[in-house]
Structure 1
Amino acid sequence: MRQRQLGALRVGEIGLGAMSFGGMFGATDEEASLRTLDAAQEAGITMIDTANVYGLGVSETVIGRWGRAATVATKCGIVSGPPRSIDNSEPYIRACLEESLRRLKRDHVELYYMHRHDPKVPIEEVAGTMARLIEEGKIGGYGLSEIAPYTLRRAHAEHPVTAVQNEYSLWTRQPELGLLQTCRELGVAFVAFSPLGRGMFGEHAPTRADFRSGVDFRHTNPRFVEPNFAANIAAIEPFRAFCRDRGWTVSGTALAWVLAQGDHIIPIPGTRTAEHLRDWLDVHPSAEDLAEIGRILPAGFAWGDRYGDHQSMAVERYC
Structure 2
Amino acid sequence: MKQRLIGNRNVGTIGFGAMSFGGMFGATDEAISLSCLDAAADAGISHFDTANVYGLGVSEQIIGKWGRRDLHLATKCGIINGPPRAVRNDEPYIRQCLEESLRRLKREHVELYYIHRRQPEIPIEDLAGTMSKLVQEGKIGGYGLSEVAPSTLRRAHAEYPVTAVQSEFSLWTRLPQLGLIQTCRELGAAFVAFSPLARGMFGREPLKRDFREGIDFRDTNPRFIEPNFSANLAVIAPFRDLCAERGWTVPGAALAWVLAQGEHIIPIPGTRTADHLRDWQVADLDATDIAEIERILPAGFAHGDRYSDQQMAFVERYC
TM-score by length of 1: 0.99
How far apart, in 2, do the equivalents of 1:23 and 1:282 lie?
Answer: 27
State the match for 1:10 in structure 2: 10
Aligned: 1:226 with 2:226? yes
State the match for 2:317 in structure 1: 317
Deviations 1:253-276 (A, max 9, x none): 100000010000000000001010
Q: How many residues align?
A: 318
State the match for 1:118 in structure 2: 119
How far off its partner does 1:71 sit?
0.6
Aligned: 1:89 with 2:90? yes
How far apart, in 1, do the equivalents of 2:261 and 2:255 lie?
Answer: 10
State the match for 2:199 in structure 1: 198
How far off its partner does 1:72 sit?
0.4
State the match for 2:150 in structure 1: 149
How far apart, in 1, do the equivalents of 2:266 and 2:313 lie?
Answer: 25
User: Which letter does structure 1 place at the counterpart of 2:90?
Assistant: S
**Matched position secondary structure for 1:166:** strand
How far apart, in 2, do the equivalents of 1:63 and 1:316 lie?
Answer: 29
How far apart, in 2, do the equivalents of 1:278 and 1:48 lie?
Answer: 17
How far apart, in 2, do the equivalents of 1:312 and 1:138 lie?
Answer: 30
Runs of 5+ unmatched residues, structure 2: none
**Conserved 8 A contact 2:255-2:282:** no
How far apart, in 1, do the equivalents of 2:130 and 2:310 lie?
Answer: 29
4+ aligned runs moved over 6 Å, structure 1: none
How far off its partner does 1:81 sit?
3.2
User: Which letter does structure 2 place at the counterpart of 1:187?
Assistant: G
Aligned: 1:289 with 2:289? yes
Aligned: 1:274 with 2:266? no
How far apart, in 1, do the equivalents of 2:101 and 2:286 lie?
Answer: 42
Aligned: 1:162 with 2:163? yes
**Matched position secondary structure for 1:310:** coil
State the match for 1:40 in structure 2: 40
How far apart, in 1, do the equivalents of 2:113 and 2:316 lie?
Answer: 19
Deviations 1:32-76 (A, max 9, x none): 111111111111100000000000000000000001121100000
Q: Pairwise mapping of residues 210-249 of structure 1 onto structure 2 (< 5 A)?
A: 211-249=211-249
How far apart, in 2, do the equivalents of 1:187 and 1:282 lie?
Answer: 24
**Matched position secondary structure for 2:207:** coil
State the match for 2:181 in structure 1: 180
State the match for 2:81 in structure 1: 80
Deviations 1:196-243 (A, max 9, x none): 00000001111111x110121110111010111110000000000000
**Matched position secondary structure for 1:116:** coil
How far apart, in 2, do the equivalents of 1:304 and 1:214 lie?
Answer: 20
How far apart, in 2, do the equivalents of 1:29 and 1:273 lie?
Answer: 10
How far apart, in 2, do the equivalents of 1:156 and 1:39 lie?
Answer: 35
State the match for 2:103 in structure 1: 102
Determine what percentage of the aligned residue pairs are the same residue: 72
State the match for 1:139 in structure 2: 140
How far apart, in 2, do the equivalents of 1:149 and 1:25 lie?
Answer: 30
Q: Pairwise mapping of residues 300-315 of structure 1 onto structure 2 (< 5 A)?
A: 300-315=300-315
How far apart, in 2, do the equivalents of 1:82 and 1:91 lie?
Answer: 22
How far off its partner does 1:80 sit?
1.4
Q: Which moved more, 1:131-140 or 1:303-312?
A: 303-312
**Matched position secondary structure for 2:109:** coil
How far apart, in 1, do the equivalents of 2:280 and 2:168 lie?
Answer: 18
**Conserved 8 A contact 2:132-2:160:** yes
How far apart, in 2, do the equivalents of 1:266 and 1:172 lie?
Answer: 15
TM-score by length of 2: 0.99
**Matched position secondary structure for 2:310:** helix
How far apart, in 1, do the equivalents of 2:85 and 2:316 lie?
Answer: 17
Aligned: 1:25 with 2:37? no
How far off its partner does 1:82 sit?
3.5
How far off its partner does 1:282 sit?
4.1
